[in-house]
Structure 1
Amino acid sequence: MQRISRPPRINWQQTVESQGMVYHTIDDEPYWDETACYQFDSAEIDLLEDATNELQERCIEAAQHVIDKDLFDKLQIPPHAVPLIVDAWEKDEPSLYGRFDLAYDGHTPPKLLEYNADTPTSLLEASVIQWFWLKDLYPDADQFNSIHERLIEAWKGMGITSTVHFSCVADAPEDFGNLEYLRDTAIQAGLTTSQLFMNDIGFEEVEGRYVDLDDRPIDLMFKLYPWEWLVNEYFGRKLATARMRLIEPAWKMLLSNKGLLAIMWELFEGHDNLLRAGFEAGPFRDNYVTKPLLSREGENVTVHRNGQVHEVEGSYGGKALVYQQLAAIPCFDGNYPVIGSWIVAGESAGIGIREDRQLVTTNASRFLPHYFT
């Protein structure tokens, strides 16, 4: 694993925009960053793939454990959401995708930082943008990236016959870019789709159905919108009786909750791909992090390192925490990379890399492409 500096392509902004990525720059700073890239060898890629598949299996076991032992309180899941989770789990409602965030240095086993199992983004750049970058600059190399093809096959395998409505919040360019990309993969799979924003979804009280702007029933919806928001809104309270299926399914509330890190450590203590984690400070004295159970984009993550404390600001303060051993994230010329390892239809499908000058990855952290030889 190496970080390699290189000049960006001429007119790279226009190139990635033509491929659907309009959010390549944030606050006048590049988010898509091709002034450097990461190189791996095939053995490292095999290791990342195996670790991702292993973690997916352990997460599923941990979710079953939560259900069997009625541990929803530990994850602070509201009681009215539990029947939705259990019902979706027992019906084995399909999951499309997810992203593990891993610490990896090319020498020691990859370690799980967290699982973005409900509304992961950085998908378009991992699937499409870095692939075309590879073809332009390293046509003889390879890339751990079968995300696009796997998404299309996953849609085909779901047996969908109704229209799939795709929805996210308005005025969120990154979310919308990821949503439209996923919608495109569904179209390529032969599905009929429609797009609307979350605040445009209606509810027909007499029929007990969700409807779109044309008053058509919404039978199946892909939502790029967090479950923990949904179940606490008027809209979500109708899900128990409304006839609508969602992707991602309600059981993903278990996997997207950072409390699962503590439960996994209880079940699989010492596992090569896990960091020590718990719901209490317990053995953690220094070199650990605290994370709100449901925080996003690094908000309110606090790093305790060598006697110093660094907290990322955010809107999740004052919430229940999980404690986790500080990962040994490698540092390349002052940059800390985190590997986003993608799951599609339950199996490893490729990676994308985000890096920052600090240990915590946030929404402003840069995305860098990769290749392997």
Structure 2
Amino acid sequence: MIRETLSPRSDWRARVEALGLIWHEGEQRPYWDESACYRFTRGEVDRIEAATGELYRLFLAAGEAVVSDPALLNRFAIPAAFHDPIREAWEAEPPSLNFGRFDLGFDGGDAPRLFEFNCDTPTSLLEAAVVQWAWKEECFPALDQFNSLHEALVARWREIAPDLPATVHVAHVADLAGEDAVTAAYLRDTAEAAGIGTVPILMERIGWDHDAHCFVDEADVRIEALFKLYPWEWLVREDFAPHLLDNLERGDLIWIEPVWKMIWSNKAILPVLWDLFPGHPNLLPASFAVPQGDAVAKPLLSREGANVSIRRAGSIVAETAGVYGDEGYIFQSLYRLPEAAPGCFPVLGSWVVDGAPAGMGIREDGLITSNTARFVPHVIDG
């Protein structure tokens, strides 16, 4: 795994915008950063792909353990009223993309190690699936890339299409940066490429029909299937949570992704994994109690690296602000990321679609990967 410095294309902004990545600027430097790339050997990519498939297997076992143990599910800070809907959805396996991004530490030598699984509302999707592939085809046409993500998403939509209504609503929040809007628009593209009609809607525009006991769009049309780029842990704490429970009990709306994703996307799954598979080469030791050694403290429900702290020799050496933490923390043993360039610590985002490895994206940041991270493309060389 080698980081190579490059000269960006003179018209890179126009090129990525033409592919839909309208949000590409960061505070200090571009978010889409083609001033560098990572070169991997085929053997390194094979190890990343194998680790990704193995981690999915571990998550299946951990999910089964959690839904089977009420005491364990209580550790996840999920409102008790939603425990039964989670168990029911886990057993029923409703239609879903079943996709997500494993964030991994990898130095090219030791086995890839799991940091967390972003599988409820994962972003950096368009740049991983489309933008970096187009960059590779133009700049390194003779090389390969670990990337079948676009094809896998379209194929998965096509596979679940018979179980979906004619139209799927796709919802997101009106974020200032446009990151969620870009991701939602891309997922609409993949659904429509599979022959599924979609309707965009902002989360705040979704209404509730009290007479029909159903969610409706701005035209008062019943929503029968909803892809929501909005965390379940936020949904279950909204004022309309009682309506949500009513809806889940009726089972007349297909939620993509399903409510059981609250288990896998919660950091509490990390100690469960370690308890089930202690010493596994793709896991880091994790617990609910403060360990004696160097560790990373993570709130159960944090996003974009918020409220994370790194602790070495009893002192906090890096931390981020945010609004999380009241729900509790887990502690994960510190993994020392390689510093590929001064101040650049890469985290690999290895994607799965319906549980199968489908591609990789890389984000660089400081010691804690946050919403200031930059996306750097990659190639396979040799």
**TM-score over 0.5 (shorter chain):** yes
Question: 2:347 is aligned with what amino acid?
Answer: V
TM-superposed deviation, 1:318? 3.6
- Kept in 2, the 8 Å contact 1:95–1:346? The answer is no
User: Paired residue for 1:174?
Assistant: 179
**d(CA) in 1 for partners of 2:28, 2:331:** 35
Matched, 1:297 2:298: no
**d(CA) in 2 for partners of 1:93, 1:288:** 37
Q: Report the 3-state secondary structure (helix = DSSP H, G, I; strand = E; otherwise coil) of the residue aligned with 1:25.
A: coil
Residue in structure 2 matching 1:288, options 285, 295, 299: 295
Counting only pairs closer than 5 Å after superposition, residues 232-247 of structure 1 correspond to structure 2 as 232-242=237-247, 243-247=252-256
Q: Report the 3-state secondary structure (helix = DSSP H, G, I; strand = E; otherwise coil) of the residue aligned with 2:59.
A: helix
The two structures have a TM-score, normalised by structure 2, of 0.95
> Post-superposition, which runs of at least 4 consecutive aligned residues in structure 1 deviate over 3 A?
none
- Could you give the per-residue CA deviations for residues 231-271 of structure 1, whole angstroms, max 9, x where no partner exists? 11133331232221210101100000001000000000000
Q: Report the 3-state secondary structure (helix = DSSP H, G, I; strand = E; otherwise coil) of the residue aligned with 2:240.
A: helix
- Could you give the per-residue CA deviations for residues 269-313 of structure 1, whole angstroms, max 9, x where no partner exists? 0001000000011xx223211000000000000101245412111
- Kept in 2, the 8 Å contact 1:165–1:220? The answer is yes
Q: Report the 3-state secondary structure (helix = DSSP H, G, I; strand = E; otherwise coil) of the residue aligned with 1:17.
A: helix
**d(CA) in 2 for partners of 1:249, 1:77:** 15
User: Paired residue for 2:15?
Assistant: 15
User: Paired residue for 2:3?
Assistant: 3
User: Paired residue for 1:34?
Assistant: 34
- Kept in 1, the 8 Å contact 2:26–2:372? The answer is yes
Matched, 1:126 2:133: no
**d(CA) in 1 for partners of 2:95, 2:52:** 19
**d(CA) in 2 for partners of 1:225, 1:72:** 22
Q: Report the 3-state secondary structure (helix = DSSP H, G, I; strand = E; otherwise coil) of the residue aligned with 1:26.
A: coil
Question: 2:301 is aligned with what amino acid?
Answer: L
TM-superposed deviation, 1:321? 0.3
User: Paired residue for 1:316?
Assistant: 324
Residue in structure 1 matching 2:279, options 249, 270, 275: 270
Point out the more displaced range, 260-269 or 329-338.
Answer: 329-338
- Kept in 2, the 8 Å contact 1:143–1:370? The answer is yes
Q: Report the 3-state secondary structure (helix = DSSP H, G, I; strand = E; otherwise coil) of the residue aligned with 1:262.
A: helix
User: Paired residue for 1:189?
Assistant: 194
Question: 1:135 is aligned with what amino acid?
Answer: E
User: Paired residue for 2:89?
Assistant: 88
Question: 1:261 is aligned with what amino acid?
Answer: L
Residue in structure 2 matching 1:151, options 150, 153, 156: 153
Counting only pairs closer than 5 Å after superposition, residues 59-138 of structure 1 correspond to structure 2 as 59-70=59-70, 71-96=72-97, 97-138=99-140
**d(CA) in 1 for partners of 2:313, 2:148:** 40
Q: Report the 3-state secondary structure (helix = DSSP H, G, I; strand = E; otherwise coil) of the residue aligned with 2:37.
A: strand
TM-superposed deviation, 1:319? 3.4
* Identical-pair percentage: 46
TM-superposed deviation, 1:346? 1.2
**d(CA) in 2 for partners of 1:56, 1:174:** 26
Matched, 1:210 2:203: no
TM-superposed deviation, 1:28? 5.6
Q: Report the 3-state secondary structure (helix = DSSP H, G, I; strand = E; otherwise coil) of the residue aligned with 2:278.
A: coil
User: Paired residue for 1:221?
Assistant: 226
**d(CA) in 2 for partners of 1:140, 1:308:** 48
TM-superposed deviation, 1:29? 2.6
Q: Which runs of 5+ in 2 are unaligned?
A: none
TM-superposed deviation, 1:60? 1.1
The two structures have a TM-score, normalised by structure 1, of 0.97
Distance 1:162 1:236, change over 3 A: farther
**d(CA) in 1 for partners of 2:186, 2:354:** 17
- Kept in 1, the 8 Å contact 2:42–2:380? The answer is yes
- Kept in 1, the 8 Å contact 2:285–2:332? The answer is yes
Question: 1:272 is aligned with what amino acid?
Answer: P
